[in-house]
């Protein structure tokens, strides 16, 4: 074996890693955390009294309301409108990310069909 290594020009003095008696990798990371709390800053329109507590009084209707910050109640009043625990909180990235692939140049026409006259 060693003569073949020498013939091939391999370094026969290179250390060969030996197995360790304990695993060398760290333990698995903890399960993701979820934010299922109601926002303390969200409110409907320009009325701070219409907050997540207000939404909870009629959540079937009010979870679809848009707040002063442009988010829907169901996005900000998670405990009231139902928390989606299958969507972990993702830490912000230092570089913007896109969900759609970008192109080098604009497309020749619209990428989606024209709007309809009414809801479909």
Torsion of CA 53, 87, 33, 51, to 10 degrees: -10
Q: What is the mean pLDDT of the chain?
A: 77
- Return the structure tokens found at 77: 């009043």
3-43: per-residue pLDDT in tens? 665 666 666 566 667 777 777 666 666 666 667 899 999 99
The residue-averaged pLDDT of 93-115 equals: 69
Q: How far apart are CA 59 and CA 66, in angstroms?
A: 13
Could you tell me which residues come within 8 angstroms of residue 73 by beta carbon, excluding any fewer than 6 positions away?
A: 42, 44, 52, 55, 62, 63, 64, 65, 66, 67, 80, 81
43-61: per-residue pLDDT in tens? 999 999 999 999 999 999 9
Overall pTM > 0.75: no
What are the residue ranges spanned by the domains of the chain?
32-85
Paired strand residues for 83: none
DSSP percent split of the chain into helix, strand, coil, nearest 5: 20, 5, 75
């Amino acid at each position: 074996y060693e003569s073949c290594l020498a013939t091939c020009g391999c370094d026969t003095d290179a250390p060969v890693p030996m197995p360790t008696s304990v695993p060398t990798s760290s333990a698995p990371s903890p399960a993701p955390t979820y934010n299922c709390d109601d926002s303390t800053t969200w409110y409907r329109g320009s009325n701070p009294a219409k907050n997540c507590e207000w939404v909870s009084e009629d959540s079937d209707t009010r979870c679809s309301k848009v707040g002063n910050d442009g988010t829907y109640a169901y996005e900000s009043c998670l405990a009231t409108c139902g928390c989606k625990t299958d969507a972990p909180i993702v830490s912000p990235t230092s570089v913007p990310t896109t969900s759609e692939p970008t192109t080098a140049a604009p497309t020749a026409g619209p990428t989606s069909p024209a709007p309809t006259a009414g809801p479909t």
